[in-house]
Every structure is written in structure tokens, then in C-alpha cells.
Amino acid sequence: MAETHAEDQDQEQYGVLLYYKYADMPDLDELVAFYESNCNSLGLLGRVRLSPQGVNVTVGGKLSLLEKHIAAVMSNVLFEGTDFKLATCDRPVNDNVAKECGFTALSIRVVQGLGTKSNQFLTTR
């Protein structure tokens, strides 16, 4: 019976979540702590960029866990009105595919701005 449950978990559908929010972010340290705790506890991998002007997030993981992440983010009034883009996908077939897509680790960085011309990091975690 335990084997069947483990097989069901391995068969669970995967997804990719993308969202961004432009707004004044008053406490970046608090946001970093939230994303580290939430994403790590849910096993989400990908990229989180935080700046004083907003956030840009692309993470992947099990669909049910991505939905839990959305619920946690939505509980913060800073993210009111955020448009979450959630797509189902297959689990990467191998480590090379995961690496090409950027889903081998969780990268959380505080940057000066979210625009393409402003990729200078303030901090890396």
C-alpha cells in the first residue's frame, strides 16, 4: 500500500508558475525570508527576483504545491490583483533538460530593478 502511495506522488502532475508584481516593496528582507521558507518547504525550484519596485517569479514543482504557493502569496496584501500564470507540464526527463530550463535549484536574488537593463544584484541567496 505504501508503494502505491509513493507511485501516486511520483505520478503527480508538474507545473510552472510565472508571476510578477510591480509595487513598492517596503521590506525586502521579509520577502526574502518568505520566499526562502515557502519555496523550500514546498520543494519549488526556479528563479525569484525581488526589488524595491516589485517581484518577478518563475518556479516549477508539483502542481498541487504550486497552488499552495499561490494561496500563500495571495494572503499578502502587497500581491492583491496579481495575475498568476500556471501551466501544467511534464517533469523534466533528465538533469540536462532541468538545467536548461533553470529548474535545478532555487535562486532568490534582490536586484536594483526588474527591467532587463538592471541586472545588477544587490544580494544573492
DSSP 73-123: HHTSGGGTT---EEEEEPPPSSHHHHHHHT-SSEEEEEES-SSTT---EEE
Any domain includes 29: yes
CB 56 within 8 A of CB 49: yes
Q: Which domain holds residue 29?
A: 20-110
Any domain includes 8: no
Any domain includes 115: no
- What is residue 52's three-state secondary structure? coil
What are the two backbone dihedrals, phi and then psi, of residue 29, each rounded to the nearest 5 degrees? -60, -40
Reported as a pLDDT band with limits 50, 70 and 90, residue 96 is low
Dist CA 51 CA 111 (whole Å):
5
Count: domains in the chain: 1
Reported as a pLDDT band with limits 50, 70 and 90, residue 103 is confident
Any domain includes 116: no
User: pTM surpassing 0.85?
Assistant: no
Any domain includes 91: yes
Q: What is the pLDDT of residues 52-81, one digit of tens each?
A: 999 999 999 999 999 999 999 999 999 999
